[in-house]
Every structure is written in structure tokens, then in C-alpha cells.
Amino acid sequence: MTGPTRRIAVASLGALALACGSAVAAPLDGDMSLGDPKAKVQVIEYASVTCSHCAAFNRDVFPAFKKKYVDTGKVHYILREVPTPPAQVAAAGFLTARCAGKDKYFTVVDAMFRELPVWAESGDALASVVRAGAAGGLSEAQVKACISDQQGLDAMRERVSKSLKDANIEGTPTFVVNGTTVKVGEMTLAELDAAIAQASKR
């Protein structure tokens, strides 16, 4: 880990060229989101389930953010997957979340974040992915089939490549509010309050 964010590396997914440009604000095919798509404010988080800073945000800030803004229809939240080292574990986590279906996607992602310190200490990442899958209703056999599916991995590689094409993302988490990158690194609820208030005025 370098500095305040998890540096992006996707060795297992192939090289992804990060083009310079503004952050992508328009929804993309395959985006996983929560809240009202017609909300005035859109918050995109570029994150990885193997990023400890993303896990900390998920644990400490996301529940209050979701309750205050997403559940009330004020913000449309999008999570864009950016596998970071170990990229194989991140890819397995995201593939499993997608195999669980849209209704359970964020349940599995949350479970993966909570499992991060477990597998980091034990070294048994597969067991953690299986437990995260179970949170989304998947059996161990279903999880193993999901993470070994080459079609799913290819689709992830294409999805990640598209989402990063114009975003110039250098680390995770990165937060983009209504098309403007507001922070690279963990955001506090107060920082989100300020960014959302500013975006609401436009």
C-alpha cells in the first residue's frame, strides 16, 4: 500500500490503460448502484474489496451516508469495481457479488470488506470469498464455479476498462460527485456532506 490509497494494479485482469480526462459521470452498462437514478446528486466510488481504506469507509462512513442520502432518494450511489492487489482476490470477490445477483450484490461486497482482515491474517482468501458468497445466498460450489468462469472474468476486464477509460483513477477509493473528482482516499461524512451540498446547488 502506498500513501493514503490503494494503488491500482490489475495484473490478473490484463493491463488497463488509464487515459487522462475528467471522471466519468454518465451511468455505464453493468454499473451496480443504490438509490434513485434520477436523484440530483450522483456519487461514484471507485473501490476494491481488497483495499483496506475502502473497507474502512464501508465500515465507518457508508452506513450513515446511505441512510442520510441514498435511502432518502437524495443521492444515486454507484460502485465501480477497480481490482487492487491481490487482484485475484478482488476479482473473485466482485465476480461472486455479481453471481449473487443485483439484489444481493452489495450484501456480498459488504461481506468481502468485512472479511478483508480475516483473510489478510489467515492467508485463506478462498474461505473468505466463500463466506461472503454465503451472505448472498450462494453455496460453496456456486462460488467456486463463479470465480472460475472465464466469461465472467472477461466481462469484468471489459467493464473495468470502460469505467476507467476517461476517469484517470490513480488509487482507491476515489470519489466522484456529479462528474467531479472530490477526493482520492477515505472520505468522512462531513466531507461528503460538503460535496453533496455543493453539487446540489448546481
Q: Are 46 and 168 contacting, i.e. CB atoms less than 8 angstroms apart? A: no
The whole-chain average pLDDT of the chain stands at: 87
Residue 187 domain flag: no
Name the one residue in this structure whose C-alpha cell is 490509497. Answer: 5
At 22 the pLDDT is: 33
Residue 173 domain flag: yes
Q: Specify the pTM.
A: 0.86
Pairing of strands 75-81, 41-47: parallel
Region label for 30, one of left (φ > 0), alpha (ψ between -120 and 50) or beta (otherwise):
left
Residue 200 domain flag: no
Structural domain boundaries enclosing 96: 6-182
Average of pLDDT values for 75-93?
Answer: 96
Task: For residue 155, give the C-alpha cell.
Answer: 466481462
Residue 145 domain flag: yes
Number of domains in the chain: 1
- Residue 12 confidence class, pLDDT cut points 50, 70, 90: very low
Name the one residue in this structure whose C-alpha cell is 502506498. Answer: 2
Residue 166 domain flag: yes
Q: Give per-residue pLDDT as tens, 95-138.
A: 999 999 999 999 999 999 999 999 999 999 999 999 999 999 99
Pick from 19-33, 34-48, 144-158: least confident: 19-33
Task: For residue 136, give the C-alpha cell.
Answer: 448472498
Residue 202 domain flag: no
- Residue 30 confidence class, pLDDT cut points 50, 70, 90: confident
C-alpha 197/C-alpha 41 separation (Å) is 9
Cα-based distances in Å from 127 to 173, 196, 201:
25, 38, 46
CATH of the domain at 41: 3.40.30.10
